[in-house]
Amino acid sequence: MRLPVHVTPMSGRAEVVGWREGADGLRELEVKVKAAPEKGKATKEATALVASFFDVPKSSVSCVRGETSRHKMFEIPDSIDIDN
């Protein structure tokens, strides 16, 4: 399943904030990471936070679009219920 995620790099703390309405009017998960947006560090940290948030292994979550953007698309297991 595809999951839209908005990532804020260089935040004071790493956390999944919750759901927000994106600029396009669609819902996306808001994630803040401590890492700088260089060499994939922020994306890697965001991947780990999303996996932890949904209680799945990091290996089952991957960024499929937006490696260098704040707006990313992650692929997560279909068995996850994102409505809760």
- Tens digits of residue pLDDT in 5-37: 999 999 999 999 999 997 788 899 999 999 999
Q: Cα torsion for 64, 47, 42, 18, to the nearest 10°? A: 100
- Specify which residues 8 forms β-bridges with: 32
User: Running DSSP on this structure, what letter comes out for residue 70?
Assistant: S
Q: Say if residue 80 is exposed, middle or buried (CB neighbours under 10 Å; 0-12, 13-18, 19+).
A: middle
Residue 84 has pLDDT above 70, yes or no: no
Domain 2-75: top CATH class: alpha beta
Query: What integer pLDDT is reported at residue 23 of this predicted model?
Result: 77
Residue 49 has pLDDT above 80, yes or no: yes
Residue 4 has pLDDT above 70, yes or no: yes
